[in-house]
Chain A
């Protein structure tokens, strides 16, 4: 990975020259943020915070590192190759259990975006209806919420006479081909992909009223997803940086809530591969996972964390409950104290985004 480092160096050099010319008082602190996936609206708030200069205003020069199939943000952050990382809570906790030094400091997503979707004619409207059906999951830890929801209604996911678990690839092709009855889907991604596909029998797109949706939130087995973490070793000496980073990131998310169209432009400029329509849909749904934030954006809900840990333990993602250092609200509290604007978003309502073929 030589090129990005060189780019950073060039960027830093340009920045220095720029700073020198404008005779600004202090140099910016370079910060790297490791995402858990490729650039998309799921991370809109951070891209917006860069574009709107929120990080710079806090004295930070933030570089956003895209994630990928082989990138484990917790490992990157624990190894000191990035100061901050974004990850689903259970995945990072699993890395923490195997020795990665990380602590969650800002729980941005308040809700889980995981759904189990099915065609109307399958008549699956509640978890009990999965009995005897073919139910898809991506596996690799993504099955924990689903299995917990099954066990809650007395179904054994490992018993084929109760339910057939089908391993699903990361597309919705098997679902569209009718090979699985209920497919796992993120509300901000795969669910939209179904609505962007053409129904061959009508020649027009599938519509939401052709689908039944069971969310893991409604099933009561949701796990916390995107949160911001850093290593405790770093946090010990950089409390002020962490607070500044959180404050600017929160501002970015608030900007995206209130200026969706401009925010989508920031995402598209960040080398997002999927087209505008899809990103607009995604941002709207992501905002729905963040807002309202009853205690202010980034504040961890202790009960939701406890439930996440329980589901992770039941699903054998974790072998023991993490200690009290796994998360803290102290940085987020400090960040929220000096944050102007509405940090709770209680009056925010979801917009109606119409999807088009291929998400254009």
Chain B
């Protein structure tokens, strides 16, 4: 892939972000609170007033950006404490992702071989995913009393499902004629799994991994709420929420940090996919006739 082709999606992304940011400030220019820059003698009174875009509910972008450089009681910038928190949460979500993909893949292999289980268990799995994570988290985190490991379990819970579903589909995706061929060789289940099903599933798996990566970050952040863990991004969010009335920009900055962690997790999977699937041919190993 040429550099230019690789850069194009990044440019598109930046363009969209820029449009959103301009729209944000445009709304404030039109219907926000008065703009004040006494140092430059600038004052602007927007013609309309609309509560959702006032300074409390939607702070100026530069105020949010400025929040990163605010010093806390210990003289540390908010940015560096957010980065520390992001690493803490990243550890939880990385473990959650690893456990979740392991469990998800294992479950898929079992389900694909035991039809009865698939019929019986899949509806249960679906049901498990419709229970809000905010309801599950206290049970796991407080029940296990395991600190950040409990939080990783919450991330696991959010992670395994897309992997299971995608893996089942992926392992069935090989050419039916290939299955027939294997049968004609009287290949055992294990051989079919190793030579046919698993080689056919990576494209499906990586799609699921992308969902799982962001889900594990969400799981880790939400899991921190009931755990009372203050070291991660979930703790930073709670902290900022508590003082929203007089420092709304802190919450927005914390949200930006959460989004950044999610994007990093996603990009890591994309990069892994690029490397792993370089020159991938499902036809090799007989996946397609």
Task: List the interface of chain A (C-beta within 8 A of B).
Answer: 1-2, 38, 68-71, 170-173, 175-177, 190, 193-194, 196-198, 200-201, 203, 268, 271-276, 279, 357-359
Residue of A2, A70, A273 near B228 (CB, 8 A) is: A70
A67 to chain B, nearest CB (A): 8
Question: Which stretch, B19-27, B113-121, B236-244, B252-260, touches the partner chain A?
Answer: B236-244
Q: How far is the CA of A176 from the CA of B51 in the complex (A)?
A: 11
What are some 7 contacts across the A-B interface (CB < 8 A)? A69-B225, A173-B56, A177-B51, A190-B245, A197-B245, A273-B239, A276-B73
Q: Does the CB pair B246–A193 fall under 8 Å?
A: yes
**Which chain B residues lie closer than 8 Å to A172 at the CB level?**
245-246
Q: Does the CB pair B245–A201 fall under 8 Å?
A: no
Task: List the interface of chain B (C-beta within 8 A of A).
Answer: 33-34, 36, 38, 51, 54-57, 70, 72-74, 138, 142, 145, 147, 225-228, 230, 238-239, 241-248
Given contacts A68-B230, A177-B56, A200-B55, contact A171 B241 (CB under 8 A): yes
A286 to chain B, nearest CB (A): 17
Residue of B33, B36, B228, B244 near A171 (CB, 8 A) is: B244
Closest partner residue, chain B, to A169 (CB atom): B241
**Which chain B residues lie closer than 8 Å to A273 at the CB level?**
72-73, 239
Q: Name B's interface SS.
A: loop
Q: How far is the CA of A359 from the CA of B244 in the complex (A)?
A: 12
Q: Does the CB pair A2–B55 fall under 8 Å?
A: no
Closest partner residue, chain B, to A194 (CB atom): B245
Among B142, B226, B242: residue with most chain A CB under 10 A: B242
Sample of 10 more A-B contacts, CB < 8 Å, known A203-B34, A274-B243? A70-B138, A70-B227, A171-B244, A172-B245, A175-B245, A176-B56, A177-B57, A193-B246, A197-B246, A275-B73
Q: How far is the CA of A343 from the CA of B34 in the complex (A)?
A: 51
B97 to chain A, nearest CB (A): 23
B61 to chain A, nearest CB (A): 17
Q: How far is the CA of A212 from the CA of B196 in the complex (A)?
A: 75
Given contacts A173-B56, A173-B244, A201-B34, contact A70 B73 (CB under 8 A): no
Q: Does the CB pair B34–A171 fall under 8 Å?
A: no
Q: Does the CB pair A358–B246 fall under 8 Å?
A: yes
Closest partner residue, chain A, to B244 (CB atom): A171
Closest partner residue, chain A, to B228 (CB atom): A68
Q: Does the CB pair A171–B242 fall under 8 Å?
A: yes
**Which chain A residues lie closer than 8 Å to B33 at the CB level?**
200-201
**Which chain B residues lie closer than 8 Å to A177 at the CB level?**
51, 54, 56-57
Q: Does the CB pair B72–A275 fall under 8 Å?
A: yes
Closest partner residue, chain B, to A172 (CB atom): B245
Q: Does the CB pair B55–A198 fall under 8 Å?
A: yes
Q: Does the CB pair B245–A176 fall under 8 Å?
A: yes
B243 to chain A, nearest CB (A): 7
Residue of B138, B145, B239, B245 near A173 (CB, 8 A) is: B245
Q: Does the CB pair B226–A69 fall under 8 Å?
A: yes
B58 to chain A, nearest CB (A): 12
**Which chain B residues lie closer than 8 Å to A194 at the CB level?**
245-246
Closest partner residue, chain A, to B73 (CB atom): A268
Closest partner residue, chain A, to B147 (CB atom): A1
Q: How far is the CA of A357 from the CA of B59 in the complex (A)?
A: 15
Given contacts A172-B245, A198-B55, contact A272 B34 (CB under 8 A): no
Q: How far is the CA of A193 from the CA of B228 in the complex (A)?
A: 23
Q: Does the CB pair A2–B73 fall under 8 Å?
A: no
Given contacts A70-B142, A176-B56, A273-B72, contact A358 B247 (CB under 8 A): yes
A269 to chain B, nearest CB (A): 8
Among B51, B74, B230, B243: residue with most chain A CB under 10 A: B243
B241 to chain A, nearest CB (A): 7
Q: Does the CB pair B73–A196 fall under 8 Å?
A: no
Ranked nearest first, the 9 interchain pairs of A and B with the lowest CB-CB distance are: A200-B33, A68-B228, A172-B245, A196-B246, A197-B246, A268-B73, A171-B244, A203-B36, A171-B245
Q: How far is the CA of A173 from the CA of B52 in the complex (A)?
A: 12
Closest partner residue, chain A, to B55 (CB atom): A200
Q: How far is the CA of A38 from the CA of B238 in the complex (A)?
A: 12
Closest partner residue, chain A, to B226 (CB atom): A70
**Which chain A residues lie closer than 8 Å to B36 at the CB level?**
203
Q: How far is the CA of A249 from the CA of B145 in the complex (A)?
A: 31
**Which chain A residues lie closer than 8 Å to B248 at the CB level?**
173
Residue of B56, B147, B230, B246 near A357 (CB, 8 A) is: B246
Closest partner residue, chain A, to B248 (CB atom): A173
**Which chain B residues lie closer than 8 Å to A175 at the CB level?**
245
Closest partner residue, chain A, to B225 (CB atom): A69
Closest partner residue, chain A, to B247 (CB atom): A358
**Which chain B residues lie closer than 8 Å to A359 at the CB level?**
246-247
Closest partner residue, chain B, to A70 (CB atom): B228
Q: Does the CB pair A193–B245 fall under 8 Å?
A: yes
**Which chain A residues lie closer than 8 Å to B246 at the CB level?**
172, 193-194, 196-197, 357-359
A270 to chain B, nearest CB (A): 9
Given contacts A177-B51, A200-B34, A201-B34, contact A272 B73 (CB under 8 A): yes
B200 to chain A, nearest CB (A): 43
B284 to chain A, nearest CB (A): 48
**Which chain B residues lie closer than 8 Å to A193 at the CB level?**
243, 245-246
**Which chain A residues lie closer than 8 Å to B34 at the CB level?**
200-201, 203
Q: How far is the CA of A194 from the CA of B70 in the complex (A)?
A: 20
A183 to chain B, nearest CB (A): 10
Q: How far is the CA of A52 from the CA of B252 in the complex (A)?
A: 39
A281 to chain B, nearest CB (A): 12
**Which chain A residues lie closer than 8 Å to B147 at the CB level?**
1-2
